[in-house]
Structure 1
Amino acid sequence: MAVVVFRSKVTGEVIMMRNHVEPIFKQAGIVFHDKGAFLAEDLPAVIQSLEKVIDAVAQNEVPEDEDEAKEKPAMLAAVGIRTRFYSLLKLLRKAADKGVNVHWEPLS
């Protein structure tokens, strides 16, 4: 599985699995390449598009049964879409506030 790292000059790194990011980007109308970037002036629209898709996906998520979840090891527990994308959206918002670009590339 490929791993992607997102970076900007004003934040740390956010590391995500490509197979989690790519379909959400596609639904948001964002072309995902191995290496890419968001320009600072495009970040508000990117954030808005991602939030819209994430909210739509979250509405269709089926909550995991609490009793079943307690029996599973934590690493096998379901992760909601809002939780999965929280750090990336935080990075994008901070970069937008500071007017800096965000880029991503495969983690090597």
Structure 2
Amino acid sequence: MAVVVFRSKVSGEVIMMRNHVEPVFKEAGIIFHERGAFLAQDLPSIIASLEQVIESIAQSEVPEDEDEAKEKPAMLASVAIKTRFYALLKLLRKASDKGVNVHWEPLT
């Protein structure tokens, strides 16, 4: 499993699984490469695109049955898309507010 780390000068790191990030980026029209960057001036439109896709996915998510969720180990519990992307969107917003680029690369 590939792991990706997002970084900016104004925030900490956000670590995510590539198989979670790549399809959402693709649906948002963002090309995902192994290594990449978002320029500060592009961040507002990138954030808006990601928010739109995440909201669309969230509306189609089926909540997990509470009884079934209690029986599963925590590692197997489903994670809502908004929860999964919360930290990344926070990093992107902070970088946008400060006019700073964001880059990503595989975590080694």
Separation in 1, partners of 2:76, 2:35: 29
For residues 46-85 of structure 1, give each alpha carbon's deviation from its aligned partner in whole angstroms, at most 9, with x where no partner exists: 0000000000000000000001101111111100000000
Distance 2:74 2:35 in 1: 32
Distance in 2 (CA, whole Å) between partners of 1:76 and 1:3 is: 18
User: Within 1, Cα distance between the matches of 2:69 and 2:106?
Assistant: 32
The aligned counterpart of 2:89 is: 89
- Per the alignment, residue 48 of structure 2 pairs with 48
Please tell me the root mean square deviation across aligned C-alpha atoms, in Å: 0.4
Question: Where does the alignment leave 5 or more consecutive residues of structure 2 unmatched?
Answer: none
Q: Which secondary structure does the structure 2 equivalent of 1:50 belong to?
A: helix
Identical aligned residues as a percent: 81
Give 1:55-70 correspondences, 5 Å limit: 55-70=55-70
Matches within 5 A, 1:1-108: 1-108=1-108
Q: TM-score, normalised by structure 1?
A: 0.99
Q: How many residues align?
A: 108
The residue matched to 2:104 in structure 1 has which SS? strand
Local SS of the residue matching 2:63? coil
